[in-house]
């Protein structure tokens, strides 16, 4: 859902000693350093400056490729969409249709050309690594669950939102990894129609 900047950066502008200029895969190297920093220190304690240090480049070069730490996280985790945009779509609009908006936006993202493949990779890496699990938990909480939870404005909103996350995560697991029928081959509209009232109940019931 976000445009990706794939152009190469301004080579060797900083000129400071010890900082490498932008090379042919500077962007990839910054992402690798970001993954390492996020995993070592967690989402909150990681800064653009720390990622730049880890990658051996100037912080300005990191900023050339990524607007913010949030964007760096989204790209480093290869999320199929920007969770901040998803949060906005969920929050904006009538409260009594929030379940339907959630079901629609997630299924559209996951069923996009590379969405299924990315979801499979994400579930696999959460299951395979405690570091990735921790990182994903922190990042998704900060960028998606927390904003939605704040907008709901009820005391038990975090619990409600995390049960919605459970239903969606389970759907992804069953449709894309376990391929359990009939969920695996159900059409999108059927799934949206089934999920909408249940997600609505979790949030406002």
Q: Which residues bind its own copies (CB under 8 A)?
A: 123-124, 126-128, 133-134, 136-137, 140-141, 145, 158-159, 162-163, 165-171, 173-175, 177-183, 186, 190, 194-195, 197-198, 201-202, 205
- Nearer of residues 26 and 149 to its own copies, judged by Cβ: 149
Among residues 143, 141, 161, 142, the alpha carbon closest in space to that of 152 is found at 161
- Nearer of residues 2 and 117 to its own copies, judged by Cβ: 117
- Nearer of residues 26 and 141 to its own copies, judged by Cβ: 141
CB of 180 to its own copies, least distance (A): 5
CA-to-CA distance for 195 and 172, rounded, in angstroms? 13
CB of 112 to its own copies, least distance (A): 20
CA-to-CA distance for 198 and 185, rounded, in angstroms? 20
CB of 13 to its own copies, least distance (A): 40
**Which pair of tokens denotes residue 101?**
């908006």
Residue 83 burial (C-beta neighbours within 10 Å; 0-12, 13-18, 19+): buried
């Amino acid at each position: 859902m976000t445009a990706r900047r794939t152009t190469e950066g301004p080579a060797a502008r900083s000129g400071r000693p010890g900082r490498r200029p932008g090379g042919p895969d500077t962007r990839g190297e910054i992402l690798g350093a970001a993954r390492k920093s996020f995993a070592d220190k967690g989402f909150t304690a990681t800064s653009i400056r720390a990622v730049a240090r880890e990658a051996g480049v100037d912080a300005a070069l990191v900023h050339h490729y990524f607007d913010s730490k949030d964007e760096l996280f989204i790209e480093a985790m290869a999320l199929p969409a920007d969770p901040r945009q998803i949060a906005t779509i969920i929050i904006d609009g009538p409260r009594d249709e929030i379940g339907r908006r959630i079901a629609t936006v997630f299924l559209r993202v996951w069923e996009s050309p590379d969405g299924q493949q990315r979801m499979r990779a994400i579930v696999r890496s959460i299951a395979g690594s405690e570091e990735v699990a921790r990182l994903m938990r922190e990042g998704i909480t900060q960028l998606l669950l927390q904003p939605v939870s704040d907008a709901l404005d009820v005391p038990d909103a975090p619990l409600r939102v995390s049960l919605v996350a459970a239903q969606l995560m389970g759907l992804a697991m069953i449709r894309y990894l376990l391929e359990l029928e009939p969920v695996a081959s159900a059409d999108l509209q059927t799934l949206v129609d089934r999920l909408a009232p249940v997600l609505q109940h979790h949030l406002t019931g």
